[in-house]
Amino acid sequence: MALIEAKDAAGAMLPGSPGTRIDSNGYAILPYLRPYRINSVEIDPKGSNDDVAFGSTVAQVVPWEGSVVKVSFDTTLQNNVTLQARQANGLPLPFAATIYNPSGKEIGVVGQGSMMFISDASAPKATVKWSGGQCSVELSQEKTKETLCR
């Protein structure tokens, strides 16, 4: 048996035990493990808040017979935002352009169709850089769908 800990990941599922989810306190019970053998314990982020990032989703344990093993999954709460942005001239942002916060820390990337994936939108502004240039984007706390990169 395993006690699974994944703080802030309420709703995440345990594929090894159908129907088992992380509760609102960040815990779940995995009732079946094989003693004296390597057991892979997995957590599926589907069902948890979109702002939760997992350090890893698989852990390996070797329990003794009759023991309860604690398995902790590292989680981080982020301010994730997905929005579409275009350059001031109307062209899409280049694929794989890097997004930085005002202090220069990388916080995201531009995907297909000029879609920006930002893992920390706590700053009011971000800079998008690519090999041929750069522009700035206002990050709205309302998580708007489209914005202009100037």
Shared-domain flag, residues 112 and 144: yes
Q: Is 113 helix (H, G, I), strand (E, B) or coil?
A: helix
CATH of the domain at 109: 2.60.40.2070
Q: Are 11 and 48 spatial neighbours (Cβ–Cβ below 8 Å)?
A: yes
Amino acid present at 113: G
Domain interval for residue 11: 1-77
Show the 3-state SS of 63-81: CCCCCCEEEECCEEECECE
CATH of the domain at 62: 2.60.40.2610
Shared-domain flag, residues 64 and 3: yes
Q: Is the pTM of this model over 0.75?
A: no
Amino acid present at 53: A
Q: Are 100 and 83 spatial neighbours (Cβ–Cβ below 8 Å)?
A: no
Structural domains of the chain, count: 2
> What tens-digit pLDDT sequence spans the chain (150 residues)?
999 999 999 999 999 899 999 999 999 999 999 999 999 999 999 999 988 999 999 999 999 999 999 999 999 998 888 888 898 888 999 999 999 999 999 999 999 999 999 988 788 889 999 998 999 988 875 555 567 777
Amino acid present at 42: E
